[in-house]
Structures are given as C-alpha cells and as structure tokens.
Amino acid sequence: MTDRKKFRPDGAKIKVMISANGEVEIVGNRLGLKALSDICVALSESVSKPGNHYHFMDCEGFWGTESGSIPLIVYGEDL
C-alpha cells in the first residue's frame, strides 16, 4: 500500500472543529480515524527529522478534511 493510500484512503473522512467550550474536536469515520492513527505512528517514528509534520485542511493538495473544518497541523517532535 502506498503512503498516499495509507494516509488518505478512499472514503476516509475527518472533521476538525472548536467546540463551544474552546476544545479541539476531531470527528472521523473508521477510515479517517485509522488514517489519523497511521499518520501519528509515522510521525512518532521520525521525530528527529526536520519538517516532520502533516497538514489537515479543507484545501486542495492536503488531507481533505470535511467542509467547515479548521486547519490542523500535527507535528512529531522530541519535547
């Protein structure tokens, strides 16, 4: 399986929102949450590499989140 299919499988859906309480909410179907998990594992395995991040946004060329989503960037860093 290519990284593209693993990280953005057909039918995967994720929506990123801010709740009324100011909390970040990530809602996804099974494929979307599995893809998010796979992305987080890949980022954790390359923490020391520069540019180790992944964009999620409702925009062409990035992980296409559902309409109404806010942009989200997940970083892998040694904190």
Query: How far apart, in whole angstroms, are the C-alpha atoms of residue 33 and residue 5?
Result: 14
> Given this model, what pLDDT does residue 67 score?
87
Q: Are strands 63-64 and 53-57 parallel, antiparallel or unpaired?
A: parallel
Q: Answer yes or no: is pLDDT of 19 > 70.
A: yes
Which residue type is seen at 53?
H
> Given this model, what pLDDT does residue 57 score?
82
Query: How far apart, in whole angstroms, are the C-alpha atoms of residue 9 and residue 36?
Result: 11
> Given this model, what pLDDT does residue 2 score?
52
The model's pLDDT over 41-78, given as tens digits with 9 standing for 90+, comes to 999 998 888 888 998 887 765 677 888 899 999 999 88
Domain ranges of the chain: 3-75
